[in-house]
Structure 1
């Protein structure tokens, strides 16, 4: 009976050595804990100047967000005093994968060609399509935190290789066929930025060469015209000789000795009749 009473009353575990062991809990209070203890020096105040600055910044961010929304859509956006709340509402409603738009963008990328445009203008058209496609068809990312296969970086690399192929396939065949074949034969493919810089340099070389050829053509044309003028006489007349008078610059059908001298011909022979075109 005494043993049973001891078991009921003695509810704390005892060690063989007589030392007590207590299980620690988050709700334990020490003997030094009391209501007057100061846990932190920061005190919550409703009229703190930082709070007023915070609300000012919030209002500014909200206005920035609203001003980037089309007026017809702005009225459908929920009004919020907190920028995060507003942004989450917009994200939930408009961040939706657009299947039909993706199907439209991919053929647009295939049809995008340089067609005589500068390299910068051509790349700019592709960049707009790439950015829109990236927004509509985002690459999935690991969320478990334990991924070791780097699938995200591999997908990013594959998408960049697709951009390189699209850039090369749209180039002018006549001007860049050789360089395109050279880049495609490289293993691994250069980065998109590297390919773009190579094409810009090639465009610059072709522009300089074309300008030099055009200058040579102009000089040759001027020389040809000058030689022709010198062969034709001082006034660029035809290099023909009249069989009647033996002079250059006209044929027998135009010779004044046959058709008559005009009125303005000052040294016409006296024995000749009146020149053509002269009034009686």
Structure 2
């Protein structure tokens, strides 16, 4: 029969904590010169059994005793020799030492009932039967609820993954499945692995939707560790890109600030009147205080002919010209006299084309000429 558990996904934090607790066993080489130092220390782990932490306690104790080569006394592999066997004394000494280790790793009220059990294996099994949650329906239900509710939220992917693995490890300790066929065991483990991948992906944030779709599209589905590794790489890439984008945005803001400052400096260089709030002059030359210059003429003033030209242009759909007329007043008078002489000549000779010119101002237009 094959016993199947799904504890392969060991929680890094839990295993590290267990190893650290094992390393806290005091060094005995200074206490025993050349003897078996393992007999002098009975402090195995910082995890003392209190009735509620059996899983952590059992893992820590197993690691510590296995590290000292005495795990066979817990599993039953180290058999008790027959009476009269020369190895009997050594076995009795090791058995007593392991029992002392176990009792000293429990609280006094917890360890007292196991003080008179004959073998270390008897103590180990009694504690397991009393405090283990194997096939505990209430414990299984509570762990299942926690797993269904776990979401990544604002945490990193690594913290979210480790929390789920820790819950799965506790859940594995609640089962004691045995399979008659090894192939059925492999299939069951793969099915359980896929279920955990689905649950892990379901709790991820929305930003991983695209990667989640790619993972679900693979056949066969990656393992839980492979899935976590791929998600973690994507998270790292996103963090790097966001940092680059924020740096570029900061540079753009700095550039905009420089441009704004430059425009403000340019404005400061222009003359500014604090009375009329206009550029290109100061209070010393402002017309509101000192009046207009004597030689100033308003644009378009004394230009009646130009007004007539503008009126005729508006009627014909033409835009009025704002340019200065090409002829001076003296030139216009001379041109007028020339036209008058031409008119008198045309009266004497009817075959000569006639032309009239009217001018009432400085501006000229197409309608001012009549031929």
CA deviation map 1:32-71 (0-9, x unaligned): xxxxxxxxxxx9768x6x6555444334422332344345
TM-score (norm 2): 0.47
Decide which of 161, 172, 179 is 2:211's aligned counterpart: 179
CA contact (8 A) 1:168 1:180 kept: yes
Q: Secondary structure at the match of 2:218?
A: coil
- Mark the CA change 1:105 to 1:58 in structure 2 (over 3 Å): closer, same or farther: same
1:152-202 superposed Cα distances (whole Å, 9 cap, x missing partner): 1211111111110111000001x2001111111212211111111111111
Partner of 2:275: 244
What is the aligned residue count?
199
The answer to whether the Cα contact below 8 Å between 2:197 and 2:223 also exists between their aligned partners in 1 is yes
Aligned to 1:276: none
Can you give the 5+ residue segments of structure 1 that lack an aligned partner in the other structure? 1-42, 253-257, 259-280
Structure-2 residue corresponding to 1:5? none
Counterpart Cα distance in 2 of 1:179 and 1:213? 21
Report which stretch shifted further, 58-67 or 184-193. 58-67
Q: Which residue among 37, 49, 73 is the counterpart of 2:110?
A: 73
**For the Cα contact (< 8 Å) 2:103–2:115, is it kept in 1?**
no
Match of 1:108 among 135, 141, 146: 146
Larger radius of gyration: 2
Q: Secondary structure at the match of 1:141?
A: strand
Does residue 94 (structure 1) correspond to residue 131 (structure 2)? The answer is yes
Match of residue 168, structure 1, among 182, 196, 201: 201
- For the structure 1 residues 246 and 133, does the alpha-carbon distance in structure 2 shift closer, same or farther, using more than 3 Å as the test? same
Q: Do 1:66 and 1:74's aligned partners in 2 also have CA atoms closer than 8 Å? A: yes
Three-state SS of the structure 2 residue aligned to 1:84 is helix
User: 1:222 & 1:154 partners in 2: Cα distance?
Assistant: 60
Q: TM-score, normalised by structure 1?
A: 0.61
Q: Secondary structure at the match of 1:114?
A: coil
Aligned to 2:120: 83
Q: For residues 76 and 148 of structure 1, do their structure 2 counterparts lie closer, same or farther at Cα, with a shift above 3 Å needed?
A: closer
Deviations 1:82-126 (A, max 9, x none): 211211222232334210111111121111011121111011110
Q: Cα deviation per residue 1:217-276 (whole Å; 9 max; x = unaligned)?
A: 111112222222222239x98x9954438798xxx9xxxxx9xxxxxxxxxxxxxxxxxx
Check conservation: 1:79, 1:86, Cα contact below 8 A: no
Higher helix share: 2
C-alpha separation in 2, matches of 1:241 and 1:70: 88
Determine whether 1:150 maps to 2:150: no
Supply the distance in 2 between the matched residues of 1:81 and 1:221 (Cα, whole angstroms). Answer: 78
Are the structure 2 counterparts of residues 242 and 167 from structure 1 closer, same or farther at C-alpha, using a change threshold of 3 Å? Answer: farther
Asked if the contact 1:62–1:83 (Cα under 8 Å) also holds between the matched residues in 2, the reply is yes
The residue aligned with 2:306 is none
CA contact (8 A) 1:78 1:89 kept: no
Asked which structure has the greater RCO (Cα within 8 Å, sep 6+), the reply is: 2
* Residue from 190, 206, 216 that aligns with 2:248: 216
**Counterpart Cα distance in 1 of 2:190 and 2:163:** 21
Alignment partner, residue 200 of structure 1: 232
Whole-angstrom CA distance in 1 between matches of 2:221 and 2:161: 18
C-alpha separation between the residues in 1 aligned to 2:245 and 2:210? 21
| Aligned mates of 2:247, 2:225 — CA distance in 1 | 33
Evaluate the alpha carbon distance shift between residue 149 and residue 77 of structure 1 in structure 2; reply closer, same or farther with a 3 A threshold.
closer
